[in-house]
Amino acid sequence: MSDRSRKTIKDVAAAAGVSIGTASRALNRTGRVSEATVIRVTKAAQKLGYQPDAIAQSLRLKSTKVVGMLVTDLSNPFFAGVIRAAEKRLQQAGYALLVGNTDNEKARERFLIDLFQRRRVDGLIAGPCESEDAEMLEELDRGGLPVIGFDRDFGAGQSGLHVDHRRAAFEATRHLLNLGHERIALLSSSSTLSPGRERIAGYAAALEERGIALNNALIRAHKSSMEFVASEALSLMSLRPAPTAFLCLGTRMLAGTLQGLRQNGLSVPDDVSVLTVGDTDLARLYAPSISAVTWDLESVGQMLAELMLRRLEEGESESEPRRIMIPTQFIDRESCAPPGHRPET
């Protein structure tokens, strides 16, 4: 099966004693071909180990059967799980998935979109990015490249999927409020990306519902290393009055917070309650286990693929855009208790 001896449909046709046109029709079962030649051609193809050249097919059919996907970071488990599920579903439908990391940089996003276009992907799934480049993607979509947004702002005419981050943060905050907390610190890695913004909005809405004023001193929203988050957590704890609960938006925030609290001998939930939006092994298995808001990565990936496939298979029939909102679940574990559970030191 050396590269040189790669069999083409020409070889198959020759081996079966038919023209290449007939061979093609027999292999693809398109057009009128006698059953006898179908068998003959198929056998010849099998014997030769013929594999149709997807590149040539793409050129001819104007479809690569590839969809591109843009994420900020493929190694982030929240994306990895989604990618995995999306790839699986797309593969069932005969599509491959080409993934690109934007690293949350506008320039890289541009570069990748360009790359995907040159590679003639059939569609594009666009995850969150600092450059909420709605118009650009909308233009692509109108230009004939189906775009599905994922946790990202996009134009009115576009299809997409959102995890309900706002409600997630709302419910988490309300849970803390119900326990009696009023000074709830918020740690977020971003206030500009759609998920971050939505979560902060949900937090604010829950406070407002109780008539508690938003205290900006309690909010820390910027990307930072785990070590820095740890020191942020400590600096928050040194406020007077100190927060009685931490709402961590994302794994890194949770990890940093736990580290910071632990370094300072603060115990959860006795000294302070902790709650996270986005569930991970760490939250599940930490001692104490951390209450979390979670959602199903697999169904997110699957739905994304589904949205894309629908667009792809509808062809030109510009159907109305579909939007999907993925619900979240609150999981109560051991990390939350009423404030003042233990007298302050």
Task: Single out the residue of 14, 42, 48, 52 in contact with DNA (rule: CB under 7 A).
Answer: 52
31 binds DNA (CB under 7 A): yes
154 binds DNA (CB under 7 A): no
For residue 128, is the peptide bond before it cis, meaning its omega torsion is within 30 degrees of 0?
Answer: no
Handedness of CA 277, 283, 284, 290 (dihedral sign): negative
Residue 23 near residue 16 (C-beta atoms within 8 A): yes
Q: How far is the CB of 53 from DNA (least distance, A)?
A: 3
User: 27 touches which of DNA, its own copies, none (CB within 5 to 8 A by kind)?
Assistant: DNA
Identify residue 227 by its one-letter amino acid code. Answer: E
Strand ranges inside 117-227, DSSP E? 123-126, 147-150, 159-163, 184-188, 219-221
192-217 b/e with 16+ CB inside 10 Å = b?
A: ebbbbbbbbebbbebbeeeebeeeee
User: Which range touches its own copies (CB under 8 A), out of 70-78, 152-160, 201-209, 238-246?
Assistant: 70-78
Two structure tokens written together for 169: 């943060």
101 binds its own copies (CB under 8 A): yes
317 binds its own copies (CB under 8 A): no
Q: How far is the CB of 14 from DNA (least distance, A)?
A: 11
Q: How far apart are CA 72 and CA 126, in angstroms?
A: 10
Q: How far is the CB of 119 from DNA (least distance, A)?
A: 12
Task: Single out the residue of 31, 106, 139, 329 in contact with its own copies (rule: CB under 8 A).
Answer: 139
57 binds DNA (CB under 7 A): yes
Task: Single out the residue of 47, 114, 178, 227 in contact with its own copies (rule: CB under 8 A).
Answer: 114
Q: How far is the CB of 76 from its own copies (least distance, A)?
A: 8
Choose among 223, 219, 207: nearest CA to 246: 219
Task: Single out the residue of 39, 61, 107, 217 in contact with DNA (rule: CB under 7 A).
Answer: 61
199 binds DNA (CB under 7 A): no
CA atoms within a 13 Å half-sphere pointing along the CA-CB vector of 227:
0
Q: How far is the CB of 66 from DNA (least distance, A)?
A: 16
Instruction: List, in order, residues 6 or more apart from 226 with CB less than 8 Å away.
Output: 252, 255, 256, 259
Task: Single out the residue of 28, 91, 92, 178 in contact with DNA (rule: CB under 7 A).
Answer: 28
Q: How far apart are CA 88 and CA 96, in angstroms?
A: 9
- CA angle at 228 for the pair 223 and 234, rounded to the nearest 5°: 120
Residue identified by tokens 């928050």 is 236
User: Which range touches its own copies (CB under 8 A), out of 47-55, 174-182, 303-311, 325-333?
Assistant: 47-55
Task: Single out the residue of 2, 5, 30, 345 in contact with DNA (rule: CB under 7 A).
Answer: 30
210 binds its own copies (CB under 8 A): no
Q: What are the φ and ψ backbone dihedral angles of 298, each rounded to 5 degrees?
A: -65, -40
Q: How far apart are CA 145 and CA 125, in angstroms?
A: 10
Which residues would be at the binding site for DNA (CB under 7 A)?
6, 8-10, 17-22, 24-25, 27-28, 30-34, 36-37, 50-53, 56-57, 59-62
Which residues would be at the binding site for its own copies (CB under 8 A)?
1-4, 51-56, 58-59, 64, 73-77, 80-81, 83-84, 87-88, 91, 96-101, 114-115, 117-120, 139-140, 142-145, 251, 255, 258-259, 262, 280-282, 284-287, 297
